[in-house]
């Protein structure tokens, strides 16, 4: 477990950044495939512009969310705000920023948002799985101490290792990675080929991910907090409840 893959003098290629690049590249292939299959009125250049627009919005939202919840540190160290390679991208903020950017772009192109959201959902959750592997190599998004046989001791220079030196921790980033891969497999290999109303796959993605995140968050040691409540658990419960309400009230599983 080391955050740097390769170093060329002063230039370092970090796993954290590399995983996001891979996520964007693989996600782009999946999204273009789904846009074509679903006959969405976007030419290839439009699809790539949409992806760039959404990724930028997602990164800004993810970082802003994390910085707001850790303002005590970032207010005193403003130069660290743009240093995303040190970790600190919150998925709920990323979803908010990405969805906002996507809605603005699709509105300009007169494309139905929920139809495109279904095309994008599998790529998002697969990208999150790649991102969690980056967290694993970076030693952040870590868990609490554990005496379970799969507990991992992180290097002392990592965030996890500096907080809990020589202590086995729950590898929560791997827990979430495997959950995300399972959700991707369900959405991509089974659900997308079924007849349903627009928005069903995206609503299922939000619901399933939120349930998985709520469970994993129980084992996290570095959670963002809202007073005494874990922010991710509160947000996850809210999103899962809203997702289920929309699915059942709109009967989205039907053609």
pLDDT in tens, 158-169: 989 999 999 999
Q: What is the pLDDT of residue 213?
A: 96
201-246 per-position pLDDT tens digit: 999 999 999 999 999 999 999 888 877 789 899 999 999 999 999 9
Mean pLDDT, the chain, integer: 92
Q: Can you tell me the mean pLDDT for 12-19?
A: 83
Q: What is the pLDDT of residue 190?
A: 94
- The β-bridge relationship of strands 4-8 and 11-14 is antiparallel
Q: Is 196 left (phi over 0), alpha (psi -120 to 50) or beta?
A: beta
Distance CA(230)–CA(224), nearest Å, equals 6
Q: What are phi and psi of 207, to 5 degrees?
A: -70, -50
Supply the DSSP symbol for 197: -
More confident site: 129 or 12: 129
Q: What is the mean predicted confidence (pLDDT) over 120-148?
A: 94
More confident residue, 193 or 85: 193
- Find the helix or strand (DSSP H, E) in which 212 lies: helix 200-217
What are the CA-CA distances from residue 178 to residues 130, 142, 173, 213 (Å)?
10, 15, 9, 11
Is residue 1 scored above 90 in pLDDT? no
CA distances from 187 to 94, 165, 194 (A): 20, 39, 10
- Within 70-171, residue ranges assigned H as helices are 71-76, 91-109, 113-138, 159-163
pLDDT at 67 over 80: yes
Distance CA 91, CA 84 (A): 13
Residue 15 has pLDDT above 90, yes or no: no
| 10 pLDDT above the threshold of 80 | no
87 pLDDT band, cuts 50/70/90, is low
């Amino acid at each position: 477990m080391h955050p740097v893959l390769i170093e060329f003098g002063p230039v370092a290629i970090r796993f954290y950044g590399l995983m996001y690049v891979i996520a964007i590249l693989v996600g782009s292939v999946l999204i273009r495939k789904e846009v074509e299959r679903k006959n969405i009125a976007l030419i290839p250049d439009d699809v790539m512009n949409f992806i760039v627009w959404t990724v930028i919005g997602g990164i800004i939202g993810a970082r802003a969310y994390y910085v707001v919840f850790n303002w005590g540190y970032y207010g005193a160290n403003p130069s660290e705000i743009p240093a995303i390679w040190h970790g600190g991208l919150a998925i709920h903020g990323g979803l908010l920023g990405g969805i906002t950017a996507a809605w603005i772009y699709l509105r300009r192109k007169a494309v139905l948002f929920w139809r495109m959201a279904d095309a994008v959902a599998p790529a998002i959750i697969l990208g999150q799985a790649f991102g969690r592997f980056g967290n694993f190599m970076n030693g952040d998004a870590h868990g609490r101490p554990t005496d379970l046989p799969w507990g991992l001791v992180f290097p002392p220079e990592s965030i996890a290792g500096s907080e809990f030196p020589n202590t086995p921790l729950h590898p929560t980033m791997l827990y979430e990675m495997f959950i995300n891969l399972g959700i991707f497999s369900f959405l991509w290999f089974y659900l997308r080929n079924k007849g349903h109303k627009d928005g069903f796959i995206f609503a299922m993605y939000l619901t399933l991910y939120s349930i998985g995140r709520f469970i994993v968050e129980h084992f996290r040691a570095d959670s963002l907090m809202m007073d005494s409540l874990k922010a991710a658990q509160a947000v996850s419960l809210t999103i899962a409840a809203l997702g289920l309400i929309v699915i059942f009230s709109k009967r989205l599983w039907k053609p």
